[in-house]
Amino acid sequence: MNELALFGGQKAVSMPLKPYKTIGREERRAVRSVMKTGNLSQFVGAWDDDFYGGPMVKRFEEECARFFGVRHAITVNSWTSGLIAAVGAIGIKPGDEVIVPTWTMTASAAAILHWGGVPVFADIDEESFCISPSSIEQLVSPRTKAVMTVDIFGRSANIADINEIARKYNLRVICDSAQAPGAVVEGGFAGTLGDIGGISLNYHKHIHTGEGGVIFTNDDDLANRMMLIRNHGEVVAENLGIKKIENLIGFNFRLGELESAIGREQLKKLPALISSRQAAAMQLDRGLRDLEGLKLPSTPAGSTHVYYVYGMVLSGKALRSGRQNIIRALEAEGVEGIASGYQNLHLLPVYQKKIAFGEDGFPWNTSAEAAKIDYSKGVCPTAEKLHDFSFLGLNLCKFEYSEAEVTLVIEAFQKVWANLDKIQAEHL
């Protein structure tokens, strides 16, 4: 049984893992109810009673605000749209700098570029995989207007220290909590403790509406501006007597009635779904904690982790065996959904070439300082090392990970670790 499947042995996980599925009869019933009304979306892109959406949109927003304990919850058709609305609402203009971690999904930085802002990439903390507060402070300049945190893999960034830095330098804080819905930090939920935050409702998240997102804020003015950006705000600014009209060129970022009806049912399930991911993670903790050279995820006291990804770090003998060799061996054992790294955005062509809009280098051509911002290899060493060599993850929102399935995954890891010498010797 200890012979690796890679070398002819029997697989530890002999059957495909069951997919993680959150949509059930409750959602189907909710969709049918909306279909009967004939109103699949009730937004109007002009000043009207329906400028803020239909009944399902409004109920979903009210329920999200109540669940997450915020004054305003604003639905959007994607979390990318939510980030664009957030960056616009805080008044970012061409040439303004926003500090953002490099280890994140591309939308975090693209939302900054959208308004002509310049992303300045911070390194991450190896313990949390989230933006490093010390890296933030090293990057603050006279042109810095905001910090965007990313609560990666289901654990919140160190929001207390980040908010302290923001107060010191008079910066806004946007919390990208796409992967951490319901994670607890500092007595509140991830995404609710900055100026603006929010979650994704994309299909492979803890809960989803297919596509979608929810923005959180306790600031009435920011909420109003984001609702205007969501729905062609330039058309209604005069009706509302708004004098500060910059960044109010609006879009169609509207979530429909069907998606909102699904979202209402998904929100009810969120606590139980989080508990199921946490149970799988705790079982993995128990089964993998004695494997040499495998650092498991951690959570600070007083906080919770919702385990979008179960993130690990290789070291010592495991690292010398080669991450790709280990991944091949685990996959041969039937382990699916292995993550071998994450994006380091500063190394993408758009930042290496500083070409985003047009051919003249906008927004980096807005100032000599912007043109000199450094995106070279080596500026974010922790994120680069993790991506290139040492990170290993399991996507806990891709498969069900029942207790029986986790037991088999643990067995696969234990088999691979028992054969690290052979894996290294084979030079796979």
- What is the reported pLDDT for 427? 54
Which tens digits make up the pLDDT trace of 286-331? 999 999 999 999 999 999 999 999 999 999 999 999 999 999 999 9
Per-residue pLDDT averaged across 133-150, rounded?
Answer: 98
> CA geometry: angle at 189 spanning 383 and 206, to 5°?
70
The first and second tokens of residue 41, run together, are 């979306």
Domain-located, residue 18:
no
Q: How far apart are CA 364 and CA 79, in angstroms?
A: 25
The DSSP H or E segment spanning 147 is strand 144-150
Report the CATH number that the domain containing residue 32 is assigned in CATH: 3.40.640.10
Instruction: Give start and end residues of each alpha helix (H) in 177-256.
Output: 220-230, 233-236
- Rounded to whole angstroms, the Cα distance separating 278 from 308 reads 10
425 confidence band (pLDDT: 50, 70, 90)? confident
Q: How many CA atoms lie within 13 A of 242 on its CB side?
A: 19
For range 274-291, the mean pLDDT: 98
With contact defined as beta carbons under 8 Å apart, do 108 and 98 qualify?
no
The domain tally of the chain equals: 1
Does residue 254 sit within a domain? Answer: yes
The radius of gyration of the chain's CA atoms, rounded to the nearest angstrom, is 23
Question: Would you say residue 10 has pLDDT above 70?
Answer: yes
Local confidence band at 213 (pLDDT 50, 70, 90 cut-offs): very high
Q: How much is the mean pLDDT over the chain?
A: 96
Residue 123 lies in a domain: yes
Domain assignment of residue 373, yes or no: no
% residues pLDDT > 70 (the chain): 99
Q: What is the rounded average pLDDT of the residues 386-405?
A: 97
CA distance 155 to 193: 14
Q: List, for residues 32-54, the tens digit of each pLDDT value.
A: 999 999 999 999 999 999 999 99
Residue 169 lies in a domain: yes
Minimum mean pLDDT among 64-73, 90-99, 335-344, 359-368: which range?
335-344
Rounded to an integer, the average pLDDT of 13-29 is 97
Q: Which residues contact 77 (CB under 8 A, 6 or more apart)?
A: 211, 212, 213, 252, 253, 254, 255, 256, 259
CA distance 406 to 306: 17
User: Would residue 248 count as lying in a domain?
Assistant: yes
Average pLDDT over every residue of 84-104: 98
Query: Residue 1: pLDDT above 70?
Result: no
- Specify the pLDDT at position 342: 83
Give the domain range for residue 93.
25-266
pLDDT of 417 strictly over 60: yes
Q: What percent of the chain has pLDDT over 90?
A: 96
The two beta strands, 118-122 and 97-101, are: parallel
Burial of 341 (0-12, 13-18, 19+ CB in 10 A): middle
Asked if pLDDT for residue 428 goes beyond 60, the answer is: no
Assigned domain for 250 exists = yes
pLDDT (mean) for 392-398: 97
Residue with tokens 């919770």: 304
Angle 394-399-405 from CA coordinates, rounded to 5°? 85
Q: Are 169 and 193 in contact (CB under 8 A)?
A: no
In a domain, 275, yes or no: no
**Side-by-side strand order, sheet with 294-295:** 294-295, 309-314, 391-395, 338-339
Give the pLDDT score at 341: 79
Q: What is the average per-residue pLDDT within 112-125?
A: 98
- The confidence score (pLDDT) of residue 424 equals 81
Strand pairing report for 144-150 and 172-176: parallel
How many DSSP H helices and E strands does the chain contain?
16, 13
Tens digits of residue pLDDT in 144-173: 999 999 999 999 999 999 999 999 999 999
